[in-house]
Amino acid sequence: MATLIAPITFSPGADAEDLHKAFKGWGTDEKTVIAILGHRNVYQRQQIRKIYEEIYQEELLKRLESELTGDFERSVYRWMLEPADRDAVLANVAIKSGSKGYHVIVEIACVLSSEELLAARRAYHNRYKRSLEEDVATHTSGDLRQLLVGLVTSYRYGGDEINARLAKTEADILHSSIKEKKGNHEEAIRILTTRSKTQLLATFNRYRDDHGTSITKKLLDDASDDFRKALHTAIRCTNDHKKYYEKVLRNAMKKVGTDEDALTRVVVSRAEKDLRNIAEIYYKRNSVHLEDAVAKEISGDYKKFILTLLGKDV
């Protein structure tokens, strides 16, 4: 379930006019920016962008970039992008971050549907004049390159069919591959980058039944290099992406200093999808409401905007 609260009827022209007024004079009226953009769904936001440009002959995104600053500007900018374009931007930022960003590439490739991933790759072409897989391959090597390129170029079957015998065979292959730290990981990469999500879930369940521990637990114990960490993330995102996102949020707020980039990424990309479910998992795990945890960690207009996307107006 989504946390975004958007009106059923709205006037993109009136919103564009109110935003233009918010930018006039000394300083920006951030309250109006949050009140409008924090309550519009993806279709409504694209309509506002279109009308704004038609009326004022300037791109709304560029105006927002010049009017806002810091984490507030970054979160509003990413929120205003179409989902595929946002994923392209997130992927590019992750690639430039090196090993610190590989998990974001895996996240995008494993959480999105096949059609959504294809749309993100097209958006990447349009924005950066290169392919996503080209940039991933340029910045990685060895098993990690094979895994990441395989994930971002995958077009998985989306059906519910399961081959139980195959699940058993491939659970054993994964077990052998993980056990041998310096072994040949080609088969593990093949399984994770080609099988449907439903088939992979059956394989992970069979792994737990046959080997007495979850595949993620085994990998976590041995997550000593970038490849194994990426493998762990791929399995977690495929297994239960909501639990994965809960952990991303928890980690973003439990360190000294908040990881605003991770917090923004999850809130902005899931607010129209399943952020309410993720927030419920967060509460069960931490006995603190997500919006209360967020409110303690961040401040200013950034805090007001993120809380608005969480469905809590301030």
Residues flagged as binding site: 23, 25, 27, 67, 255, 257, 295, 297
State the binding site for Ca(2+). Answer: 23, 25, 27, 67, 255, 257, 295, 297
- The vertex-14 CA angle with 11 and 16, nearest 5°, equals 105
- Looking up tokens 């935003």 gives 19
Write the burial class of residue 5 (CB in 10 Å: 0-12 exposed, 13-18 middle, 19+ buried). middle
Taking alpha carbons only, the member of 246, 245, 226, 232 closest to residue 204 is: 232
**Distance between CA 249 and CA 282 in Å, rounded?**
8
Cα torsion 268, 270, 273, 276: sign = negative
